[in-house]
Amino acid sequence: MFLNTHTHHLTLKSDVLELYNQFPKALNHEAKLFSIGIHPAYIKTSSIQEEIEIILQSLTHQNCLAIGEIGLDKLCETNFALQISVFEQQLKIAEQYRFPVIIHSVRAYQEILQIRKKLKLSVPFIFHGFNKNEQLLNQIIAQNCFASFGKNLLSNKNLQIIFANLSADQFFLENDASEISIQEIYAFAADLRKISIEELQLQQAENWNTIFGYEIQLK
């Protein structure tokens, strides 16, 4: 089984189990498993509370495994103070209901880690699409957080070195909005770590069970 920790593509393939990214006002009920959250680029002040209510309702669904993707984005047009406000609202919900968080970060890693400290959060963060340096990754891991790797792993040489030496329990794999299949990402990742795809699948299944509380049946 290929586990896809963050995707915007609903494939419904028999050999793929994907955590499909849901937006509160555009729910797709065909998703077997999903995360849900208000993305910083799509915040609308007129509908924040309505969307928060949808998130709260969705958390009662057995197939909802995480809140996200949520976070901070310094390149989008949304007012940054508003982004922080909406982000913190969702983080407090995640902490209250004990849901891991899929994190979207664009030039805002330090702010996100500071907010985590400020709010004294204990639920794990998964920084999706990680494509930064080892120093930042160590900061993330030190705060009980994880990195999810996707298409950038196939082309970024420095990222490949970091990934190859990372502990098996500290990362996830995803294809996000990419047209690259999760199977291709697994094959490349397994080769980098000099293990079989089956070994990588088993490791990822253990991580899913630990962080999402979702036990994977690989066969």
Specify whether the CB–CB gap between 81 and 103 falls below 8 A.
no
Specify whether the CB–CB gap between 143 and 113 falls below 8 A.
yes
Nearest Cα to Cα of residue 100 among 124, 120, 121: 124
**Annotation: binding site:** 69, 104, 128, 176
Residue with tokens 């189990």, as numbered in its chain: 17
Distances in Å between the alpha carbon of 8 and those of 109, 148, 203?
A: 22, 15, 23
Distances in Å between the alpha carbon of 106 and those of 103, 112, 165?
A: 10, 10, 25
**Annotation: binding site for a divalent metal cation:** 69, 104, 128, 176
Distances in Å between the alpha carbon of 138 and those of 132, 166, 194?
A: 11, 10, 22
Sign, CA dihedral 100-106-112-113, equals positive
String of b and e for 101-111 (b: at least 16 CB within 10 Å)? bbbbbeebbeb
